[in-house]
Amino acid sequence: MLRGGRQRVGALLRGLRRGPRGPPDSVRRGVVSCIDPSMGLNEEQKEFQKVAFNFAAREMAPHMAEWDQKELFPVDTMRKAAQLGFGGVYVRTDVGGAGLSRLDTSVIFEALATGCTSTTAYMSIHNMCVWMIDQFGSEEQRHRLCPPLCAMEKFASYCLTEPGSGSDAASLVTSAVRQHDHYILNGSKAFISGGGEADVYVVMCRTGGPGPRGISCVVVEKGTPGLSFGKKEKKVGWNSQPTRAVIFEDCAVPVANRIGDEGQGFLIAMKGLNGGRINVASCSLGAAHASVVLARDHLKVRKQFGEPLANSQYLQFQLAEMAARLVASRLTVRAAAAALQEEREDAVALCAMAKLFATDECFAICNQALQMHGGYGYLKDYAVQQYVRDSRVHQILEGSNEVMRMLISRSLLQE
């Protein structure tokens, strides 16, 4: 399956390589070095990575600041990315996906995030939603819903968090009461990426009693009576994707739109989040990689006390630590991606470790890169501040890093 997916995407990707290959000098100049993200990859993965870097440099990076400042949702750019297979990277090929591995996916999202971390993060959530339908949906659901999502003709949102249930997701209260061949949904979801703009909402709702076994997963399509949205939230970062509450008021959803069996929703949600944690950690890697390069280049050109900042041993050592933490984070994420692909018993804990370690370390890298820029780093004319703002939320979503620590400790104590 993966081999066929690679061949399909390879054919799509060749078209992009008519232009210059790889990211621009501002992102990846001279990176045949200790932080080279292609280290350890096979030749096919290097090809995917080059195309993703190239797309990030040509189609995303030039617009990153405008999307952020004007809060624009770059639909056309994402649809161009979908033409390369990036709308359903790890979705099966028979419904329009690329059929690639979790490691391939991490490599692609890391590269794309150098061009715009916020936009790539939304694309990663979209991919997670499509995978959930592909993995747990019926054949009818897969073939009806996945092709337009993989092409990004339609966009998807993941609806788990509620105003009263964040980390304690199993306590959600959005209800779905069955009436004949429909569920009647009442309740609301909070902090939903793509809310109001997405076409498909993958919703966790309560069809049974309390706890995780009472939760089911349904697809609610935009335009369904009773579905509405809250105001667009004003955020520190992630401004190229809208965030709104999603509200259900006697919203009638066909039972045919339920994904999996009744009571299986929490399992589906958690399975999706295992991959989502790898995805968001990969976005943090892209932001940190770009920030290390920006910091390095700034140290070379900025002069104080009559010489370049790069001559300062203190700053040299800080840059070295940033590079080491970046590479360690990348290796942790890629090891977890491989474990998830292989369905190993330790995959859940390793995904939690990768998310915890990489998002913490990569935010610290971005923040240190801003500090190295001095006052310039605090200006919106300089990209480093956007990498800081866009990567900060990665420590909170897809399960906060406090919850990641809980998952890891629970795994250790159960041995």
CB-based contact 396:356 (threshold 8 Å): no
- Active-site hit among 59, 197, 398, 402: 398
| Structure tokens that stand for 133 in this block | 């339908």
Q: Which of 199, 215, 197, 198 is nearest to 207 (CA)?
A: 215
Whether 59 is a known active-site residue: answer no
CB-based contact 56:114 (threshold 8 Å): yes
Orientation angle between helical segments 117-136 and 102-113, nearest 10 degrees? 160
CB-based contact 194:125 (threshold 8 Å): yes
- Report the distance separating Cα 144 and Cα 152, nearest Å: 14
Q: Which of 185, 161, 219, 89 is nearest to 396 (CA)?
A: 161
What number of residues does the chain have? 415
CB-based contact 225:251 (threshold 8 Å): yes
CB-based contact 299:319 (threshold 8 Å): yes
Backbone angles phi, psi at 397, to 5 degrees: -85, 175
For 19-52, give the DSSP string: S--S--HHHHTT--STT-TTTT--HHHHHHHHHH
Helix, strand, coil: what percent of the chain each, to 5? 55, 15, 30
DSSP 168: -
Cβ neighbourhood burial of 168 (10 Å; 0-12, 13-18, 19+): exposed
| Structure tokens that stand for 127 in this block | 């991919």
Q: Which residues are catalytic?
A: 398
